[in-house]
Amino acid sequence: MREPGLVPVMERTTKIRVLDEIWHVPRGFGAAYRRVLRDHFARLSAGEPGKLISEVIDLLGLVGYQVSPEQVSSWNLRKRVEAVVYAGTEHARASDNPVQRHPRPRWLPERAWQGPDQGEGVFGGPGGTPVMEVP
């Protein structure tokens, strides 16, 4: 809990140009965003949008979130790229790699699924935390 009168420090960002827009991304992640954007544009130009959607679903699933193909296909470019960068860095960090942690996007639920609470063995359980769309 914050003490009264203390103002939170503003998040430090880096500017990157994407098409006709300027995106403010967390500092230290500009290159990661550009890499994911290059991959997205390459797959779109190759006519493989399904692979983009499955990549986002698979990466979010690795860190405990569950999304549907319909949800991901309705997301804009920024949201898809942010999901890939966040999930990729969280997964790498969970493997004890010294990776800088990307801040959790505000549109993702606060706590992801942490492991099985039912079923058999390590692969049992209900699945990931559903990502709900907010208007």
Q: What is the pLDDT of residues 88-113, one digit of tens each?
A: 998 888 777 788 888 888 888 887 77
Alpha carbon distance, N-terminus to C-terminus of the chain: 28
Q: Which of 66, 99, 69 is nearest to 85 (CA)?
A: 99
Measured CA to CA, the distance from residue 118 to residue 96 in angstroms comes to 26
In a domain, 102, yes or no: yes
* Paired tokens of 45: 């130009």
Task: Tell me whether residue 47 is in a domain.
Answer: yes
Residue 118's pLDDT band (cuts 50, 70, 90): low
Whether this model's pTM surpasses 0.85: no
Q: How far apart are CA 83 and CA 61, in angstroms?
A: 11
122 DSSP assignment: T
Q: Answer yes or no: is pLDDT of 129 > 50.
A: yes
- List CB contacts of 90: < 8 A, sequence separation 6 or more: 63, 101, 102
Return the H-helix or E-strand segment holding 93: helix 77-94
Domain count, the chain: 1
The three-state secondary structure class of 124 is coil
- pLDDT number for residue 116: 56
Token couple for 55:
């990549």
Asked whether residue 21 is assigned to any structural domain, the reply reads yes
How many whole angstroms separate alpha carbon 75 and alpha carbon 77?
7
Does residue 5 or residue 106 have the better pLDDT? 106
Residue 1 in any domain: the answer is: no
Residues spanned by the domain of 64: 13-106
Amino acid at 65: Y
Q: What is the pLDDT of residues 23-77, one digit of tens each?
A: 999 998 999 999 999 999 999 899 988 888 999 999 998 888 888 999 999 999 9
Q: Look at residue 3 and tell me if it is in a domain.
A: no
> Quick one: pLDDT at residue 88?
92
